Amino acid sequence: MKPHAFIAMPFGTKPGHDGQPIDFNRVFAMLIRPALEQAGCTVFRADEETRAGDIRTDMFQELLVADLVLADLTLDNPNVWYELGVRHALRARGVVLIQGPRPNQPFDIYTDRKLRYSLKDGMPDPATIEAERGRLATMARDTLAAGSARKVSPVYALLDELREPQWRELLLSGDNEFSRAYEDWRSRLEVARQKNRPGDILVLAGETPTRALALEARRAAAESLMKLRQFEFALEQIDSALALDDHDRASRVRKALCMARLGRFEEARETTQQLDADYPQDAEIQSLTGRIEMQSWIQRWRGDQPEAENTAPEVGPGTARSVAAAPDAAAGGGESTPLRQAATDEEAALAQAIEPFRSAFTLQPAHYFAGIHWLMLATLHVHLTGRTDASLVEQLLGGVHWSCLSARQRNPRDYSARASFAELCLLCFDAERVKEAWGAAVAVADRDWFALDSSRRTLAVLRDLGFRPAETAAALAIVEREIARAEPPFRPRQVLLFSGHMIDGANRPVPRFPAEKADVAAQRLATALDGAGVGPQDLALSQGAAGGDLLFIEACQARGVRCQLMLPLPEPEFLSRSVLQVKNGEAWRERYYTMKAKLGMPVRVMPVELGPLPPDANAYERCNEWMLNTALVWGVDKVRFLTLWNGAGGDGPGGTAHMYEEVKRRTGRVHWIDVRTL
C-alpha cells in the first residue's frame, strides 16, 4: 500500500502577488505529482470548485487520514490555509510546505521549513524544474520516514500536553468512502481470523483500503500468529506496525510478550521498562511485567525450551495428551519431587513475578487477569515454602472472586473470564466446585483449540508442582476431554511450497517448458520429493496450472502428502487461462480433475477467500504471495521450496523469483529444477 498524499493548493490560473498569472495546474502536473510519485506516493488533489455538502466530509477525511499533506502557500488562498489549519489541528506530523515566488513570508509559518520553486511565464521554470522535483521527492520521503515523536504541527509543538484524537476511529465514523471500503476489508479480515488463517491475514494486511489502517492490519496479523505460537514471525509484523508508529502501545505490549515466549527475557524486560516509563501506574503494563516474570520463573525451574522451539503437541483428530508431562508430575501435595524442589529453589524469581500482579490488581481491581495470577502465585508460594499469611490470601480471595464474577456477568460467554473463575475454584474450593466451574468454562469455549490448550498448559504447571493433585487432575480431565472434541490444528512436519512454469502454449515463440519435457520434469520432481523424505505428515501448497503445478501435486499425492490447491481465479476462468491454453490442454484438464478428486481438502479460491483483486495487482503473483505467507506461518524451519523455473528475474513480489529469494533468505531450503537442463 503506497503512502497517500493529499494536495492543498490553488487550482487553475490565478494572479500572483505581482499580478502575473500562475498556472497552478501546470505546477501540479510538472512539479508536485511527479515528485510525490517519485517518493512512492499515491497523489490526490482536492477540487475546490465542487467542494460543498458531503464533499466537505470527504475532504476532512482526507486531511485526517493522509500520510502526507502538501500545502502550496504561494498565494494567501483561504481554502489552502483552512485545510492546512485543519491538518495541523488533527495530526501532529506529515506536512510538507512549498511555495513559489512571493514578496513576503506568512508570519505564522515564517520559521517552518519550506521548499521554494521557481516560475517562468507562470509555469515551473524548465531550468530548475528537475532539481526542484528531486528536492521535493527527498523532502517527502524524509517526512514520511520521520519518527512518530517528531511534531511538525505548531499546534502540537507548542501545546505539550495536547494529544492527537483517535483519528483511526474518527476515520470510520459515519458513512463515507473510507468507512465503506474499510468495512468490506475488515469483514474479510475477521473471517480469516475466525478460521485461524494467518496467511490470509498477511496478504490482507498489505491490502488495506488506506495505508492509515495498515497499523491495525499488522496488529491483527501479529495477534493471529501469536495465537499459533509463531512468535518469531509475529515479531516481524509487530516491527512493521512499529515502523508505522513507533509509540504504538498495543504493538509494544505484544513485542514484550513475544520476546518472553521466545525466552528473550532481558529484551522483554527492557521493553516493559520503557512502557512503564511512558505509562506509569498503569495496570495493564504492570500485569505485562508480571506475565514476563512468571514465564521466566516457570522456565527457570521447569527447563522448558523457548516456545519457538518447544512446539505444541502434534496430535491427530480425536486424541489428546498432556503438555510437558514429567515422570514426577503426579506427585502428591506434600511429597517433594525434583520439579517441586526446583521451583522452591527459585523462590526469589517467584516473588519477583508476584509483585507486578499485586500492583496491577491494586491499581485496577476489575483487572481479573492480574487478580487471578496474583492469587495463583501467592497460593503456590505458600504451597512451595510452607510459609503462609492467611489473612492476606483470604482478603485477596474475596477481591479476585468479585472481579471474576463481575467479568463473567459482563460477558457470560467469555471463555477467558470463565476459565479465570475456574482457576480460582481450583485454588481455593472443593472438588465438586472445581468440576462445575471447569465444565461451565469449556462449555463456552466453542471448541477453540488454542484457548483450551492454553488452559491445559496452565493446569500442567500446577500438576507438575503437585498442587492439589486430585482437583488438578479432575480439571485437566475436563479440559482434555473438550480438546479431544475440538479439531486440533494440523501441524505439518514439512510444508512443501511450489512455483513453476506452465507447459508452453502452441503459439509460444521461444520454447520455455515444451510438452515433451513433462515426463523428465516429473521424474526430477519425484527425485526431489523422495530426497526430502515427504509423506502423509507433510503439507503441499500449489496452484493447479498445466505443467509444473500439476506434476508437483501428482507426485505429492503419490506419496500420501496432504495437498492444498490454491487458485488465483475462479475455477472456470483458471482452467480456461492456465490449463486449456497449453498444448494438449484437454488432456491436462482431465489430469486436473483426476487430481482434484483425490484432494482431501477443499480447493481454496483466492477471490472468494481474500476478496477482489486490488487495482494494478497481478492475480498469479498475489496467489504466490498468498501461498508463501501460508507456508511461512507454520514456521520458517518447516518450509521447503521446490521450483521448476528457468531462472529469469524481473517478476514482482509474489513471482517465482521473489519466492525463491524469500525462502532462500529465511531458510536456504530451496530445490531448483532448471527447466533449461531438462
CB 9 within 8 A of CB 79: no
Cα separation, 461 vs 115, in Å, equals 63
Please provide residue 511's backbone torsions phi and psi, each rounded to the nearest 5 degrees.
-60, 140
Burial of residue 249 (number of CB atoms within 10 Å: 0-12, 13-18, 19+):
middle
Cα separation, 148 vs 164, in Å, equals 11
Identify which of 678, 304, 366 has the alpha carbon closest to the alpha carbon of residue 516.
678
Identify the pLDDT of residue 320: 32
Cα separation, 451 vs 669, in Å, equals 33
Cα separation, 535 vs 601, in Å, equals 16
Give the chain's largest Cα–Cα span: 96
Cα separation, 478 vs 485, in Å, equals 11
Q: What is the pTM of this model?
A: 0.73
DSSP for 606-617? HHHHH-SPPTT-
Identify the pLDDT of residue 429: 93
Q: Where are the beta strands (DSSP E) in 2-60?
A: 4-8, 13-15, 21-23, 42-45
Cα separation, 532 vs 197, in Å, equals 26
Cα separation, 44 vs 322, in Å, equals 57
Question: CATH number for the 174-280 domain, one of 1.25.40.10, 3.90.1150.10, 3.40.920.10, 3.40.50.720?
Answer: 1.25.40.10
Return all residues near 262 (Cβ < 8 A) that are at least 6 apart: 231, 232, 235, 306, 307, 308
Identify the pLDDT of residue 280: 93
Strand partners, 22: 14
Identify the pLDDT of residue 193: 77
Q: Averaged in consecutive runs of 10 residues, what is the pLDDT profile of the chain (678 residues)?
A: 86 90 95 94 69 57 86 92 91 91 69 83 95 95 76 82 71 62 79 84 81 77 80 89 87 96 94 95 96 95 61 33 33 66 94 95 94 94 83 80 92 94 94 96 89 93 95 96 82 93 85 92 96 96 95 97 96 95 92 95 95 86 91 87 84 68 81 92
Return all residues near 193 (Cβ < 8 A) that are at least 6 apart: 201, 220, 223, 224
- List the chain domain ranges: 4-165, 174-280, 338-485, 495-677
CB 143 within 8 A of CB 5: no
231: Cα separation from own chain's centroid: 11
Identify which of 638, 475, 536, 529 has the alpha carbon closest to the alpha carbon of residue 316.
536
3 state DSSP class of 194: helix
Strand partners, 644: 500, 673
Q: Are both 4-165 and 495-677 of the same fold?
A: yes
Single-letter code of the amino acid located at 501 = H
Domain 495-677 in CATH 3.30.413.10: no
CB 215 within 8 A of CB 238: no
Identify the pLDDT of residue 49: 39
CB 481 within 8 A of CB 318: no
b/e code 12-41 from CB counts within 10 Å (16+ = b): eeeebeeeeebbbeebbebbbbbbbeebeb
3 state DSSP class of 337: coil
Cα separation, 375 vs 438, in Å, equals 18
Q: Where are the beta strands (DSSP E) in 133-271?
A: none
Cα separation, 86 vs 103, in Å, equals 26
> Where do runs of H (alpha helix) occur along 246-367?
249-261, 265-278, 283-302, 338-345, 347-363
Identify which of 548, 565, 560 has the alpha carbon closest to the alpha carbon of residue 646.
548
Identify the pLDDT of residue 56: 60
Identify the pLDDT of residue 307: 53
- What's the chain's Rg over C-alpha atoms? 30
17 DSSP 8-state letter: T
3 state DSSP class of 307: coil
CB 41 within 8 A of CB 70: no
Give the CA count within 13 Å in the CB-facing half-sphere of 271.
Answer: 26
502 DSSP 8-state letter: B
Cα separation, 330 vs 336, in Å, equals 11
Identify the pLDDT of residue 326: 33
Cα separation, 250 vs 281, in Å, equals 17
Domain 4-165: give its CATH code: 3.40.50.10140
CATH architecture label of 338-485? Alpha Horseshoe (1.25)
Identify the pLDDT of residue 55: 53
3 state DSSP class of 220: helix
Strand pairing report for 42-45 and 4-8: parallel
Cα separation, 99 vs 86, in Å, equals 19
The torsion defined by the Cα of 541, 542, 543 and 545, in degrees rounded to 10, comes to: -150
